[in-house]
Chain A
């Protein structure tokens, strides 16, 4: 009944593009899980909008990965027919939504990074990636604005909202280091100007995050121990559950359209 997973020729550029596509797809899917469940109608729309921004980024990146790979894969195959170990997204982004504070902290940590990252990637020597970066940067700038406003209000809100926001920060902090890590495959692309080394963005990210967290009367953990593994397919237990829902239709009825 279930259809087999595809195999992917992960050259450095294909791997790089899939990593970013997976980031966008998985976080976008997480946000879509709020649809119909958000605290208020207005926020329901906002979360769905942000999810659709990310889905749009994922589609462009998957399509480009398919073109670069040139093996007949396409955006749907990458999304629906890879197993959990073939996914390359950041661990941060697959973490469950939890309460609204946790979803906003996750969004805030990532958007503060992605806004900087895509802005820097607009200088990529790869014109397709530079164009995707230019579109994504504007979207992530808004995600950062939106999540920052909420972090301040949740943190500096009631005793309970403050506690929930602080717990989310403490729990998710260890997943933030992976955003700035590069392996040999990505280093090679950075050396020739196709991608930027995210390590150089960490100081600016930390300043943004620190400023907002301080205004929210919250605190960042002192721990510098960081969890890694998503970029090489070693995921938390949550991603498999997410994919089983995301992929159930295509795995059960291969090639189904409607």
Chain B
């Protein structure tokens, strides 16, 4: 524990700041170009990654539905997995995946805050995620996204928005 009598407030040099300010540097534009190329090279792995996460998410949702304890560890696990899927969708421009996974995260967040469990709402989100995760949906189905999100929104809005709000 920090010493309560200490009132230290000073700039502490770190190896990071020392090296980062040395030359040669990489320009912002060069860094962005290199970084975007690096991300593009990973895109072929996207479908396998999402597939693995969906399988783990399915297991977590099933267990969460059978566990009435609070806080529900399987619900927390589902939140983390849904977060990962959301971030992958956003990284590789699977817009529908991002929106559905984000809705799933919000649902779990509200359920946790309310001390509730809703297996039906969670399974509905999971099935929606499986639907929108395919390249076929990305190519042909994103026009249907509005209707899908509207339906999911009704499930989420059944639970009050926590005081912290979503940023």
Indicate whether A and B interact. no
